[in-house]
A = this chain, B = another copy of it.
Amino acid sequence: MTKTARSRTSGRATLADVAARAGVATMTASRAISHPDQVSAALRARVQQAVADLAYVPNRAARALATAESNVIVVLVPSLSNAVFTAVLAGIQDALEADGYQILIGNTRYSDAEEEKLLGIYLQSHPAGILLSGLTHSEKVTQLLASSNLPVVSMMDLASDPNRYSVGFSQLQAGYTMTRYLIDKGRKRIGFMGAQLDERTLKRAEGYRKAMQEAGLYDPQLETMVSDPSTIALGAELLGRMLAVTPDCDAIFCCNDDLAHGAIYQCQRRGIAVPERLAICGFNDLPASAWMNPSVTTIGTPRYRVGYEAASLLRAIIKGTVPAQTRIDLGFTLMARESA
């Protein structure tokens, strides 16, 4: 394999090298690669051969600079270990990959500071649009977003401001629905177990409070809220705390399934009958919830679709389409099972 001179800087074959080897002008080589139909078959073949010979890989930075076009889309999620967000991500990938978008995934770890930092860095890639988790962000993030003037779609909850794009479902409504379900089942001393205390948990807690207050059942003692990341282990621990504070508690609404699973496992170890003595329910319907014994009553959430629809909406906005609606409500489903 004979090699043409390579650029000194990158050590890689450049378009100019390809052109030289194919015996054409650089711009012709460019066209043969980017717009193969605008070029004669013979020339196309020659350029392709040169590309293969030199193992030419286009330089994306140069292309981005020259075209001032961007095919990158930034996605910021608060966690990668949470199955909810990996499902969202899968939806995004499925919606976007056919169009050749490059997805820049940022894990903010539920931290405002991290979100600011990542956004600052990713903005340098001049993305075409941004997919954000949640509605509430720090002032700095809000500013960065505003001055970037880029299309933004928020995922997971619904914005009240009609000028913002959002795809998700009402976290508050879901919290309310689950609580009403427990009340309708005759439970009186219903506890709320919350961890992480992110925006969504807080909204679910709000829905819980609303339902409890309406029913005249509200008692702040019944709320156990901690800011630690929510895990099975934490659910097991919080069950103990909850029962210590309110021993007469007869149901627990966990802000998510991990917590619920941990609480149920702990009940099993302590010989507390679920749901007879204590009803326990979760949120998100993780795979284990349908299989555990008892199976777990929870809220099924359209997380994959949230990602898919949010990405589709963003794509439409980028392409200049005016979307029919700025907020897409994907709803949620109460999955009544054995645990409550």
Chain A residues near B (Cβ < 8 Å) = 9-12, 55, 57-65, 68, 80-81, 83, 86-87, 89-90, 93, 102, 104-105, 107, 120-121, 123-126, 147-149, 231-233, 236, 258, 261-262, 265, 268-269, 287-288, 290-293
Determine which of B86, B120, B262 lies in contact with A291 in the assembled complex, contact meaning CB atoms within 8 Å.
B262
* Interfacial chain B residues near A104, Cβ < 8 Å: 102, 104
Evaluate contact between B261 and A288: CB separation under 8 angstroms: yes
Evaluate contact between A62 and B65: CB separation under 8 angstroms: yes
Assembled-state Cα–Cα distance A115/B287 (Å): 27
Assembled-state Cα–Cα distance A73/B17 (Å): 26
Assess A124 versus B293: contact at CB under 8 Å? Given A10-B68, A86-B86. Answer: no
Evaluate contact between B93 and A86: CB separation under 8 angstroms: no
Assembled-state Cα–Cα distance A331/B65 (Å): 46
Assess A265 versus B287: contact at CB under 8 Å? Given A125-B61, A147-B55. Answer: no
Evaluate contact between B107 and A93: CB separation under 8 angstroms: yes
* Interfacial chain B residues near A65, Cβ < 8 Å: 59, 61-62, 65
Q: Which B residue sits closest to A102, measured CB to CB? A: B121
Assembled-state Cα–Cα distance A288/B102 (Å): 34
- In the assembled complex, how far is the CB of residue A254 from the closest CB belonging to chain B, in whole angstroms? 14
Determine which of B12, B87, B233 lies in contact with A287 in the assembled complex, contact meaning CB atoms within 8 Å.
B233
- Copies of chain A in the complex: 2
* Interfacial chain B residues near A231, Cβ < 8 Å: 287
Evaluate contact between A124 and B60: CB separation under 8 angstroms: yes
* 22 residue pairs from A and B, CB less than 8 Å apart: A55-B147, A57-B123, A59-B126, A60-B125, A61-B61, A61-B65, A61-B125, A80-B80, A80-B86, A81-B83, A81-B87, A93-B107, A102-B104, A102-B121, A231-B287, A232-B287, A232-B291, A233-B287, A233-B290, A258-B287, A262-B291, A265-B291
Evaluate contact between B236 and A291: CB separation under 8 angstroms: yes
Interface centre among A9, A61, A290 (most CB of B within 10 A): A61
Q: Which B residue sits closest to A269, measured CB to CB? A: B293
Assembled-state Cα–Cα distance A291/B270 (Å): 13
* Interfacial chain B residues near A81, Cβ < 8 Å: 83, 86-87, 90
Assembled-state Cα–Cα distance A77/B140 (Å): 32
* Interfacial chain B residues near A121, Cβ < 8 Å: 102
Q: Which B residue sits closest to A54, measured CB to CB? A: B147
Assembled-state Cα–Cα distance A60/B269 (Å): 55
* Interfacial chain B residues near A293, Cβ < 8 Å: 265, 268-269
Determine which of B61, B107, B268 lies in contact with A64 in the assembled complex, contact meaning CB atoms within 8 Å.
B61
* Interfacial chain B residues near A11, Cβ < 8 Å: 149
- In the assembled complex, how far is the CB of residue A65 from the closest CB belonging to chain B, in whole angstroms? 5
* Interfacial chain B residues near A147, Cβ < 8 Å: 55
* Interfacial chain B residues near A232, Cβ < 8 Å: 287-288, 291
- In the assembled complex, how far is the CB of residue A339 from the closest CB belonging to chain B, in whole angstroms? 14
* Interfacial chain B residues near A9, Cβ < 8 Å: 68
